[in-house]
Structure 1
Amino acid sequence: MSRLPFYLLVGVLFLAGVAMSLHRHYQLEVPWTPGEQRQVWEVEAQVNFTALGDPVLVDMALPSTQEGFRLLTEHTASPGFGLSFVEEDGARRAQWSIREASGSQQLYYTAQVLVAPDSRPPRLETPPLRRDIVWERPYDTAAAQLIERAWSRSADSFTFARELFHEFDAERQGENARLLMTQFDRTPLLVRLLNQAGVPAREVNGLLLEDGRRRQSLTSWIQVFDDQSWKLFDPANGEQGRPDNLLIWEGSGQAVLEVQGGTNSRVTFSMLSRNQPAAAAVRNQLAEDTLLNFSIHSLPLEEQALFQTILLIPIGALVVVLLRILVGIKTSGTFMPVLIALAFIQTSLATGLIGFLLVVAVGLVIRSYLSYLNLLLVARVTAVIITVIGIISVFSVLAYRFGLNAGLTITFFPMIILSWTIERMSILWEEEGPKQVLIQGGGSLITAVLAFLAMNNPWVRHITFNFLGVQLILMALILLIGNYTGYRLLELRRFKPVTED
């Protein structure tokens, strides 16, 4: 029979698991290791104005996820005002409203922004060119000469913008530039000249992030477009490029703040930088599940804590498969060591080992007495279960009385599994002697300890919980190991006499 379908299945599972894991790491920025730190900026915008006693409508631009930054959370403080978030033409804005207000007013907006160097720049639509540009004399002649001079020294839209900006530098500023500067502000003037030359451009406003700064204002920047690409320019010096600490607050060419029903309006910004675990920084994004972003983070925290333990079981199962199929260790029950390892996670390794040995030893003694009663199997196993519960209860009370709080965690042991383990070991003792009991019992403990060490590793816990694709990889590995039909390592000792001869 051809094994090709089997290997195709294994390959598909493995590649799917790797692809899902890589997607979550590179696209959603989930870290590979626990404890990684990410820089998060907390930015507060304070809007101040004087209300005139009439209805008030405050409209303010809001930041969004962009190149270098990802918006995590946002909240506002606006007592008495209604609030709504609107999005028009890709621009986000907050609108506060109230039927009547008078006197000094303060509104607050706070956003947490994650520094994400690998985030892609947003896809922006090219703004329409202004066709209503009219210059009065003699400004029309000065603008035309500046455009002609910069155009002759450029090769494309971006180089033209640089040359045009340099015309307004202090050392190169001529009579035409000085004449225009007496009538127009620098940034709107540059945008107007670019549009007249047929180069799409617009003014945007950004916030330069500096830790601990208060009452900061936005700075003006110019976006210049060339087909499907765009560049950011500093109108003050003509430098091309976006500084790493620049957060674009308003990027659609609209007003940052508009207040109807008030005067003396202004907005100032304060900011703080802090580091926090990477997993916590991207938790809100992970909670927004899509087909490719399927995660446990969308569940309530109680269920997340439950699944964090459940997702470790395949790791313990892989350890059992490796030890039983490749090494040849015998255990009492197939996956009983995995459940014992889960109990060790709750109790700690030393306490779990002592508790397991005490419960099994006392249970075997009591089970040996039950064998003389000639009970039916169901009744005998039920009696063993009740006995195990009694033993655990007695040990817990004694541990509490002697001040050994660690002994109270023995209740995490799976009582039904322990009962069947005692029953199976008792029958094995009667049929094959104490040697086989020690072999299988010792093998179970060794397997449980190794499974515990693998499952309790912080990196393993992080990977299994945050990358569900790992479960597919584990499935592929277990299927491959299950296809092994060769000798186990412990069986090779049978050939030792051959090597001696």
Structure 2
Amino acid sequence: MPDHQGHRRLLFFIVAVLFVLTAGVVFVKVRFLDFSLNDRSSVFYQLDASVSFQAVPGQPVHLSLALPELTPGYYFSLVPEGKRNFQLTEEDGDRRAVLNLPPTSGRQTVNCRFRVVPGTVPEPVLPPPPEGFPVLPDATAAACDALLAKIDPGRRLPPEELVPVLLRELAAIPPAERKLLSGSRAGGEGTLAAAITVLERRGLHARLLRGISLDDRRLQQLPVDFLDLYFDGTWHVFRANTGKEGLPEGFLILQRGGKSLFELSGGTHSAVRYSVTRVPTGAVTLNRIRSRIIGERNFPNLTLFALPAGTQNMFQKLALLPLAILLIVVARNIVGIPTMGTFMPVLIAMAFLEMKLLPGIICFLLILTVGLAIRFWLSKLNLLMVPRISAVVVVVILLMQLISMVANGLQLRDFMAVTFFPLIIIAWTIERASTIWEEDGARNTLMQLGASLAIAAVCYLILSNSYLQYLLYTFSELNLAILGVILLLGTYTGYRVSELIRFQPLVKP
């Protein structure tokens, strides 16, 4: 008994230390390091451009990344990144980040980091260059004239109406004819290049525009192409797939014109991808203090906010898992809700994040229903447990493929993310549900499945809350307080809420 009391006092002491440490660190961050509890203020975007290439042995590497001539609405600055520091250069208004590396070999990846701060940068209207339109070959000029005569015989369509019609027509013509207009470019870029050729033949200045979305929910992005057209004394942007005018909200322009997005010498098979994450401004102050204490040379990236943007986005998704786990502890140990597996609702909720809630619930119920039917049929074959579960896993994979194919045919994009469901967890859920069905009946099975699905939905609401995500990622020490609460709940030995409700008739006079 004395040992039990001593262990209990030690536990309370540890929990008190966790709470005090959490409160102290949060206070220091907010009071002295410029961290904010508001997720809409005091933040900036961290943009990582990751260039991968196969190095040519014995040749030095020269890499040049295009920067925008002007970024309306944002301040744009280069951040030193380890030992490979890019240098800003500007020539004839073309801003680029340049990096020179010694000869190397093998597959290489180089990261260039930028800081993008929202602001009120005005965008002056830069007129087109004074030189005239390029002279086209006779065959290309004839193809442009024929296409213009087809879509606008009287040349009366205004530019904002001409562009959507032109893009639809170019997407429908055979690739061989489109290559004549696009200079042998293929894909979406080829369609825009062909549109630029036709519009210049019409007497309109047009150019390519590339950029990315400032969306920290995606791990990596490829640059998206738009059409930039000059008329009525200003530039107008049109989307490549629909011809709709205007840029999406939160879009960052990286490059305008026909110049390359990046240039590389000394390497082959190159590609560039971008990742974006939101960083609190207090991280800069924290990094400056860390550098003064331990030195920049010893631990140059010893901070969570120095991780690659894609990795930070992944940790932001995981930041709310302790809170969801706390919900599971409360639901099982305090409320007394039985779930199908301890942490199965949390794993299913993470799949709901990729599919949205309603499509996720529909897919989960569909897979579970068909899987249970197959499992009951397999039980008649008297198979051993491991082969039986393995067969259920194969059936679940086939069901996911079927759902994805049907969703693709019906243009239901949310249902195509069914592959994010954890295969083994679903297979074990089907196995456990069938066992409970045989031992305790259908009623108990459906109650546990319904409770698991309800808790998964609540976990989804927690995991999808952007403010909670910002709070628990920026102030990750809050997880210490969550750990303290879980430790306290581990000492609870009283009645659960469900037991109080069940035994209520016994206490009535």
TM-score where L is the length of structure 2: 0.51
From the superposition, tell whether residues 38 and 356 of structure 1 become closer, same or farther in structure 2 (CA, over 3 Å).
closer
Cα distance in 2 for partners of 1:287, 1:391 equals: 49
- Please name the residue that 2:401 is paired with: 393
Select 1:428's aligned residue among 430, 433, 436. 436
Select 2:11's aligned residue among 6, 15, 18. 6
From the superposition, tell whether residues 9 and 432 of structure 1 become closer, same or farther in structure 2 (CA, over 3 Å).
same
Answer whether contact 2:363 2:418 (CA < 8 A) is retained. Answer: yes
Q: How much does 1:489 deviate? A: 0.8
From the superposition, tell whether residues 409 and 289 of structure 1 become closer, same or farther in structure 2 (CA, over 3 Å).
farther
Q: Which moved more, 1:297-306 or 1:285-294?
A: 285-294
- Please name the residue that 1:477 is paired with: 485
Specify the code of the residue in structure 1 equivalent to 2:312: Q
SS in 2 for 1:373: coil
Select 1:23's aligned residue among 11, 14, 28. 28
Specify the code of the residue in structure 2 equivalent to 1:320: I
- Please name the residue that 1:382 is paired with: 390
Select 1:334's aligned residue among 317, 338, 342. 342
What are the equivalent positions in structure 2 for 1:136-175 lying under 5 Å apart?
none
Answer whether contact 1:17 1:472 (CA < 8 A) is retained. Answer: yes
- Please name the residue that 2:425 is paired with: 417
Q: Deviations over 1:301-337 (max 9, x none)?
A: 1211221122221111011001111100000000111
Specify the code of the residue in structure 1 equivalent to 2:432: R
> Is residue 358 from structure 1 mapped to residue 366 from structure 2 by the alignment?
yes
Cα distance in 2 for partners of 1:497, 1:468 equals: 46
> Is residue 441 from structure 1 mapped to residue 449 from structure 2 by the alignment?
yes
Cα distance in 1 for partners of 2:445, 2:386 equals: 22
Q: How much does 1:390 deviate? A: 0.8
Cα distance in 1 for partners of 2:460, 2:288 equals: 32
Q: Deviations over 1:10-53 (max 9, x none)?
A: 1112222222222222222121121125799xxxxxxxxxxxxx
Answer whether contact 1:73 1:113 (CA < 8 A) is retained. Answer: no
From the superposition, tell whether residues 378 and 497 of structure 1 become closer, same or farther in structure 2 (CA, over 3 Å).
same
Specify the code of the residue in structure 2 equivalent to 1:19: G
Select 1:451's aligned residue among 431, 435, 459. 459
Select 2:494's aligned residue among 483, 486, 499. 486
Q: Deviations over 1:52-78 (max 9, x none)?
A: xxxxxxxxxxxxxxxxxxx99799769
**Which residues of structure 1 form unaligned runs of 5+?**
41-70, 80-111, 115-210, 213-276
Specify the code of the residue in structure 1 equivalent to 2:31: Y
Cα distance in 2 for partners of 1:350, 1:414 equals: 18
Specify the code of the residue in structure 1 equivalent to 2:340: S
From the superposition, tell whether residues 27 and 37 of structure 1 become closer, same or farther in structure 2 (CA, over 3 Å).
closer
Answer whether contact 2:44 2:280 (CA < 8 A) is retained. Answer: no
User: Number of matched residues?
Assistant: 283
- Please name the residue that 2:38 is paired with: 33
Answer whether contact 1:289 1:295 (CA < 8 A) is retained. Answer: no
Select 2:324's aligned residue among 294, 316, 320. 316
Q: Deviations over 1:70-90 (max 9, x none)?
A: x997997698xxxxxxxxxxx
- Please name the residue that 2:212 is paired with: none
From the superposition, tell whether residues 38 and 434 of structure 1 become closer, same or farther in structure 2 (CA, over 3 Å).
closer
From the superposition, tell whether residues 466 and 289 of structure 1 become closer, same or farther in structure 2 (CA, over 3 Å).
farther
Q: CA RMSD, aligned part only?
A: 3.4
- Please name the residue that 2:57 is paired with: none
What are the equivalent positions in structure 2 for 1:87-486 lying under 5 Å apart?
279=279, 281-285=281-285, 290=290, 295-486=303-494
Specify the code of the residue in structure 1 equivalent to 2:405: V
SS in 2 for 1:334: coil
Identity %: 36
Answer whether contact 1:72 1:281 (CA < 8 A) is retained. Answer: no
Q: Deviations over 1:80-132 (max 9, x none)?
A: xxxxxxxxxxxxxxxxxxxxxxxxxxxxxxxx999xxxxxxxxxxxxxxxxxx
Q: How much does 1:298 deviate? A: 1.3
Q: Deviations over 1:439-458 (max 9, x none)?
A: 11011111111111122211
Answer whether contact 2:36 2:42 (CA < 8 A) is retained. Answer: no
Cα distance in 2 for partners of 1:372, 1:426 equals: 13
Specify the code of the residue in structure 2 equivalent to 1:28: L
**Which residues of structure 2 form unaligned runs of 5+?**
46-76, 81-86, 92-114, 123-276, 295-300
Answer whether contact 2:34 2:281 (CA < 8 A) is retained. Answer: no
Q: How much does 1:499 deviate? A: 5.1
From the superposition, tell whether residues 294 and 441 of structure 1 become closer, same or farther in structure 2 (CA, over 3 Å).
farther
Cα distance in 2 for partners of 1:391, 1:31 equals: 46
Specify the code of the residue in structure 2 equivalent to 1:342: M
Specify the code of the residue in structure 2 equivalent to 1:5: L
Specify the code of the residue in structure 2 equivalent to 1:33: N
Answer whether contact 1:347 1:409 (CA < 8 A) is retained. Answer: yes
Cα distance in 1 for partners of 2:278, 2:501 equals: 49
Answer whether contact 1:17 1:469 (CA < 8 A) is retained. Answer: yes
SS in 2 for 1:32: coil
- Please name the residue that 2:505 is paired with: 497
Specify the code of the residue in structure 1 equivalent to 2:375: R
- Please name the residue that 2:223 is paired with: none
Specify the code of the residue in structure 1 equivalent to 2:374: I
SS in 2 for 1:483: coil
Q: Deviations over 1:465-492 (max 9, x none)?
A: 1111011111001101111111111111
Answer whether contact 1:311 1:464 (CA < 8 A) is retained. Answer: yes
Q: Which moved more, 1:304-313 or 1:17-26?
A: 17-26
SS in 1 for 2:362: helix
Larger Rg, first or second structure (1 or 2): 1
Q: How much does 1:285 deviate? A: 4.3
Specify the code of the residue in structure 2 equivalent to 1:24: K
Answer whether contact 2:29 2:282 (CA < 8 A) is retained. Answer: no
Q: How much does 1:460 deviate? A: 0.9
TM-score where L is the length of structure 1: 0.51
